[in-house]
A and B are shown apart, each in its own frame.
Chain A
Amino acid sequence: MAKFETLVATAAPLEQRDINTDAVIPGRFLRRKREEGFGDCLFRDLRFHEDGSENDAFVLNQPAFREAKVIVANENFGCGSSRESAVFALYDYGIRCVIAPSFGDIFHNNCFKNGLLPIVLPEAEVAALRAQAGTMQGTPFAIDLAAQTVTGVDGVARHFEIDPFRKRLLLEGVDEIDFTMSFEDKIAAFEATR
């Protein structure tokens, strides 16, 4: 699994709340194979007009945010469908971290399997970071997973909470299936009791 340790990158603000995974990647792209990549489908119907031209109003199309690797989102980012392609699309496009006050549960789980760090912070702090990302365009954010901090443009290192188990696996890039297989004896013993 892909590791996540630290990141210094531009953050793009996405103000809309309840962005569902159908918006992150529309259903019509789900029959692609993983190896074909999903980056061009990210936010497809928000990023592009029907004729395929770019929608200049969408944040990732603006010059200052083209290199963004962080998205500062809003409440309930990634709600809805369990499609892991939503994470594939973000990752393949280049996004490595999403900051939001809350996430859809399944999306949140899926992030960790792909080396994408979802950071939960209180609403007011996320709103402040979103404003910084928006006004100080192109100025990078710094994220340190080991220290559990996000440093915005204001230079203030904000502490975030993260499940220690998920943190460990992400820092070490542990393959979860391999890890679980090390519990084979326990699983077999449990199975024998059923």
Chain B
Amino acid sequence: MARPLTLFEKIWAPHEVHRDADGQSLLYVDRHFIHDGSRTPYKLLADRGLGVRRPDLTFASPDHYVPTTSRDFADVDGEDRKDMVASLTRNTQASGVTEYGLTDARHGIVHVMGPEQGLSLPGMLILCGDSHTSTHGALGALAFGVGASEVAHVLATQTLWQRKPKTMRVMIEGELADGVSGKDVVLALIAQIGVNGATGHVIEYAGSTMEALSVEGRLTICNMSIEAGARAGMIAPDEATFVYLKTKPHSPKGEEWEAAVARWRELATDPGAIFDREIFLDAATIEPMVTWGNRPSEAVPVTAMVPDVTSVEDPAQRRVLQAALDYMGLKSGMRLADVAVDYVFIGSCTNGRIEDFRAAAGVLRGRRVASGVTAIAVPGSGLVRLQAEAEGLDRIFTEAGFEWRYSGCSMCLAVNGDNVPPGKRSASTSNRNFVGRQGPEARTHLVSPATAAATAIAGRFADPRTLGD
């Protein structure tokens, strides 16, 4: 019998165009997403007099630098940002690449737009010049981020040189408690294995918890794989994946759909396949999580206290943790429930999908954001915004005191003008709590949409499960 294979191996092998004697593989890229940080790669092409080899496999949306208060190009903040956004339009038009621009309903953060358009499909090799490209792996694809030079390389050749990474399986078993989401699962995982825990590996998430999780929840988990250092995160496609994809614009149709689903079913990891590492997680033990430090691994349940860093033995580590507490304006032993927040941000490629706004709206309905808290809701795409409005969610947000914005990365990276002022504290559904991520001196705590909503109402970190009891 043939050797049992993993999902990863089943996707890697058929994408190898060539293998170098030194063991590097030249891989063929099925889908390439680009955004408004693509000026440098296009310049690298222009300097060589090269064009885009496969504009038909390349899709663009300006997400990082766009305003979320309007869809008017004139509102892009400043000349240099305008140039980032305008150059994407100019370059995609000249090279024949489809762009979902600011005024297109399909506009969005590329990692929300791709799955939503059916452009990210099982079995594909998907790349983008962005580390959170791991998101797309939730649909049973191999997807990872690359830098500007590699983006140029893919535009020019539709291929990429890669050495085969190692594999890691994360088995998550059991039922998630009410109010606990994919975000809490991935924060709990990173807290367990560390920000370096999966470096050099592609993670496959499996087990009953993943099978029961919605596609949106899976996208959130794969999205944050990179925060554990993983090259990519992926989940075998199943019935939930097929139901999600069936109605998407770019999904195969008719007989092609049937044939594709038959192929996709074969992608699941074979029983007995071997991973370089295996990690186990018990879903029943996971609670709504909040980060307290400057690494995504520094997360505890929202009901807990800021850990005692003075008891950490290694002095170098203790200094780093103490510096994180100082930056965050926290003290060991403080209850998170006593920590007041100034900003609440619901959005990003981690938690900017319809399910995220439904979860937050479920908590916000009939309630008001605490005074002194600035709260913004930023859908991950124009279609998420329209869907939320069709369900009346926008009214729940605005009546609670949230601003209801247009799609974009917004406060996740704070490069479009939406930022958290120095010294202010934010509860954010994004993916990075790094120093300065949401603005110089900004204090970022990562949470799920439900926890963000509960926190907005309480004005301090709050458990979405007990709010209002």
With a cutoff of 8 Å between Cβ atoms, the chain A residues found around residue B152 in the complex are: 177
Once A45-B436, A50-B440, A187-B17 are accepted as A-B contacts, the answer to whether A109 and B147 lie under 8 Å apart by CB is yes
| Number of A-B residue pairs at CB separation under 8 A | 154
Min C-beta distance of A91 to chain B, whole Å = 12
Question: Interface residue count for A (Cβ, 8 Å)?
Answer: 52
A residues 20-35 touching B (CB-CB < 8 Å): 20, 22-23, 26-28, 30-34
With a cutoff of 8 Å between Cβ atoms, the chain B residues found around residue A27 in the complex are: 413-415, 436-437
A45 to B441 CA separation, bound complex (whole angstroms):
9
Chain A CB within 8 A of B432 CB: yes
Q: Which of A106, A107, A165 contacts B22 (CB 8 A)?
A: A165
With a cutoff of 8 Å between Cβ atoms, the chain A residues found around residue B316 in the complex are: 15, 17
Question: Interface residue count for B (Cβ, 8 Å)?
Answer: 60
Once A82-B131, A113-B147, A114-B149 are accepted as A-B contacts, the answer to whether A165 and B434 lie under 8 Å apart by CB is no
The answer to whether A113 touches B149 (Cβ under 8 A) is yes
With a cutoff of 8 Å between Cβ atoms, the chain A residues found around residue B163 in the complex are: 163, 165
Once A22-B435, A80-B131, A180-B159 are accepted as A-B contacts, the answer to whether A104 and B199 lie under 8 Å apart by CB is yes
Chain A CB within 8 A of B320 CB: yes
Interface string of A7-18 (1 = CB under 8 A from B): 000000001111
Interface string of A64-84 (1 = CB under 8 A from B): 000000000001100111111
Min C-beta distance of B364 to chain A, whole Å = 29
The answer to whether A191 touches B440 (Cβ under 8 A) is no
The answer to whether A84 touches B17 (Cβ under 8 A) is no
The answer to whether A177 touches B320 (Cβ under 8 A) is no
Name 28 interchain pairs, CB-CB below 8 A, sorted by A. Answer: A20-B434, A22-B432, A22-B434, A27-B415, A28-B440, A31-B65, A33-B40, A34-B43, A45-B435, A50-B440, A75-B196, A76-B199, A80-B227, A80-B432, A84-B148, A84-B149, A102-B199, A105-B199, A110-B149, A113-B147, A113-B149, A163-B163, A165-B22, A166-B24, A180-B161, A183-B18, A187-B28, A191-B158
Q: Which residues of B contact A (CB under 8 A)?
A: 17-18, 20, 22-24, 26, 28, 37, 39-40, 43-44, 48, 50, 65, 80-81, 83-84, 129-131, 144-150, 152-153, 156-159, 161, 163, 165, 195-196, 199-200, 226-227, 229, 231, 295, 316, 320, 413-415, 432, 434-437, 440-441
The 7 A-B residue pairs with the shortest CB-CB distance in the complex, in nearest-first order: A113-B149, A84-B147, A110-B147, A165-B22, A164-B22, A84-B148, A165-B24
